[in-house]
Amino acid sequence: MERRILLLYLVLMSIAFPAVSQSAASVRLDPIAAALELSVAEEPLDPATLIRSALIFSGVPGEQLAELEARIRIHTAGLRDQLSGVRDPRVQAEAALAYMHEELLRRYDERQTGVDVLLERGSYNCVSSGVMYAILLKSLGLRVWGVRTSDHAFCRVQAGERAFDVETTSPFGFDPGTRKEFIDDFGRVTGYSYVPPSNYRDRREIGEKQLLGLILFNRTAFASERRDYPGAVPPAMDAYALLGDEESHERLITSLLNLASWYGMSGRFGEALEFLDRAVARQGNDRLDALREDLTHNWVLSRIQSGDYTEAQQLLDSQRSGGRLAEREWRELTVYLYQVRAQKSAPGDYREAARLILEGLRKVGSDQGLVKSYEVYVHNSAVTLVRNELYEEALAVLEEALLQLPASGVLLKDRSMVLEASTRR
């Protein structure tokens, strides 16, 4: 009867799941103002907007923004001073990459997507280094945008009449595939490094807002990998507010499904359903509705299996009246509830089991499964009485049952059996 709830991006076998500590009610489901404002902004973005948006989308608290913005401005000013006499845009773009690796970047880390982490620790990935490179180039007045593949991101810069790819994770990543010479202190060429071009068959050029959106995508993905499902939802919500495309919508729905499923798998069904109610109110979606029904189903089953029959019935009726449980589902679970209750009573008292089944029939109306169970329990009760030669009591039980099921072949046959047995005594 239980419906299996699967978390997307998770392999369930052999994993010890940590408990979810954060309350579902505290998970933010409204996008931040910065995402909404930037969604309607025209590109190219001005440098100040690009810097602030990069920090906000990295998760920097408001009270720390001014300090980190100032640190970035120090670097953009330092780069401009270094290139004060340089007019060739290609030389400027290549020098900016070298500056970033000399002054800012220390260690590549696939999961360090925040621009704040890049500034404070020097840890970076393709997204954070790409955004920082875009900031540096914009301060020089150069046009820069992003490029995505299935599992990578880099930049593309307009330098004069040509545009160049820039692998920002490498100090030799300007125009990948070209020779980069090493020069000693006396100006002699001592060797070179070669950065091969990546497989760009699935490359897709993206604008500045989409490049910033990759920070939010990564934050959602990395939080999910850590099984921090509450932490995965807000950046997914912000990404969808910013971009409003199919990919950001799918990532948002996935994060909502994962968190609600996680609460359910932790036994916190009430919180899971309250969270889904909030999510559906903002993002109506068939998959969210289906999960809400599955979680309700499993919640009721958990109460039945733990023997909390009164609570299970109250849940059934309240979820039905609240629209979380379809009529068909309510009937199926109610039948199951009465079948379990009767089965628990049957070994000691067939008449009580029959009474419970009759109560279930009155609750749900005609149901073939309940009818057959009622016949079986009444039959067993009558047979037990006959074995103890309590013929009149057995006949009374059958007559009472026939008032409920007057056309029952089983009960009519049992009545004939009791009458015949009573005449032979």
262-293 tens-digit pLDDT: 999 999 999 999 999 999 999 889 999 999 99
If we measure between CA atoms, which residue out of 290, 310, 291 comes closest to residue 300?
310
CB-based contact 129:152 (threshold 8 Å):
no
Does 20 or 315 have the greater pLDDT score?
A: 315
Question: Exposed/middle/buried for 207, CB within 10 Å: 0-12, 13-18, 19+?
Answer: middle
Separation of alpha carbons 325 and 66, rounded Å: 50
Closest CA to 119 of 106, 110, 130: 106
Torsion of CA 16, 17, 19, 25, to 10 degrees: 180
Q: Which residues, 6+ apart, have CB-to-CB distance to 386 below 8 Å? A: 394, 417, 418, 421
Say which amino acid occupies 416: S
Mean pLDDT of 16-43: 85
Contacts of 16-23 with C-beta under 8 Å, sequence gap 24+, read: 17/227, 17/265, 17/266, 18/227, 19/266, 20/229, 20/230, 20/262, 20/263, 20/266, 20/268, 22/230, 23/271
Which residue is it, tokens 């810097």? 51
Cα dihedral 53, 58, 64, 69 sign: negative
Checking if the pLDDT of 17 tops 70, the result is: no
Mean pLDDT of the chain: 90
Dihedral sign (CA 301, 11, 210, 286): negative
% of residues, the chain, pLDDT over 70: 89
Whole-structure pTM value: 0.84
Q: Which two tokens stand for residue 105?
A: 């970047």
∠ CA 90-96-99, nearest 5°, is 145
Integer Cα distance of 88 and 266 in angstroms = 60
Please name the amino acid found at residue 71. R
Residue among 393, 355, 387 at smallest CA distance from 374: 355
Q: What pLDDT does residue 11 have?
A: 32
Interacting residues of 126 by C-beta distance below 8 A, sequence separation 6+: 152, 153, 154, 168, 169
d(C-alpha 124, C-alpha 111), whole Å: 8
- Output the CA–CA distances (angstroms, integers) from residue 335 to 47, 149, 357, 378, in the order listed: 65, 53, 9, 18
**Confidence (pLDDT) at 24:** 86
Tokens (6 digits) for 120: 């404070």
- Contact of 354 with 401, CB cutoff 8 Å: yes
Domain 44-206 belongs to what topology? C8orf32 fold (3.10.620)
pLDDT (tens digit per residue) in 326-344: 899 999 999 999 999 999 9
Mean per-residue pLDDT, 408-425:
89
3-class DSSP state for residue 256?
A: helix
Question: What mean pLDDT do residues 178-199 have?
Answer: 53
Q: Do 357 and 338 meet the contact criterion of CB atoms below 8 Å apart?
A: yes
Map residue 289 onto helix, strand or coil.
helix
Residue with tokens 């910033």: 212
Domain boundaries, the chain: 44-206
Phi and psi at 307, nearest 5°, equal: 85, 10
Give the model's confidence band at 12: pLDDT under 50 very low, under 70 low, under 90 confident, else very high.
very low
Collect all residues with Cβ–Cβ distance below 8 Å to 57 and sequence separation of at least 6. 34, 35, 212, 213, 215, 216, 219, 235, 238
Handedness of CA 297, 299, 301, 303 (dihedral sign): negative
Q: What is the pLDDT of residue 189?
A: 47
Per-residue model confidence (pLDDT) at position 7: 43
Would you tell me how many other CB atoms lie within 10 Å of the CB of residue 375?
Answer: 19
CA–CA–CA angle 350, 355, 356 (5° rounding): 100
